[in-house]
Amino acid sequence: MRKVEFTVEPVPCSTMPLKYDDSLCIGCNRCASVCQCDILLPFGKRGEHPIVMYPGECYYCGACVMVCPNPGAITLQHPLMNRAKFVPVKK
Ligand code: SF4
Ligand code: SF4
């Protein structure tokens, strides 16, 4: 049987929505399975965390973080606008 090898290049993006901790991630790929936007692509090697293919498409739903069996293996890095708290102007 002929072996076919695929290579991928993550799409460049100014935002980094996800951060992986290699010391905690077991490479189970649950985060990749649950993402409804298919942003994550399972890594070819067993035990490695998925590749963040389309970081600009993430809408910060948090499903990937919630499904992870090892807390801290994957964390969301919300952009500044998501962290801001708007308050009414006092007159
Ligand atoms: S936060 Fe939601 S959209 Fe973003 S990578 Fe995780 S599951 Fe996908
Ligand atoms: S769900 Fe958690 S442990 Fe599994 S691959 Fe994703 S970050 Fe790693």
Burial environment of residue 82 by CB neighbours within 10 A (0 to 12, 13 to 18, 19 or more): exposed
Atom 7 in ligand 1: which residue has the minimum CA distance?
A: 35
Cα of 74 to ligand 1 centre, how many Å? Answer: 11
Atom 4 in ligand 2: which residue has the minimum CA distance?
A: 28
The encoded tokens of residue 39 equal 């942003």
To which residue do tokens 């993402």 refer? 35
Distance CA 29, CA 76 (A): 16
Sequence spans of domains, the chain = 18-80
Give residue 81's pLDDT. 82
Q: Is 26 in the pocket of ligand 2 (CB under 6 A)?
A: yes
pLDDT, tens digit only, all 91 positions of the chain: 898 887 888 888 888 999 999 999 999 999 999 999 999 999 878 889 999 999 999 999 999 999 999 999 999 999 888 888 888 888 8
What pTM, to 2 d.p., does this model score? Answer: 0.85
Q: What is the atom index within ligand 1 of the atom nearest the CA of 18?
A: 5
The answer to whether domain 18-80 has CATH 3.30.70.20 is yes
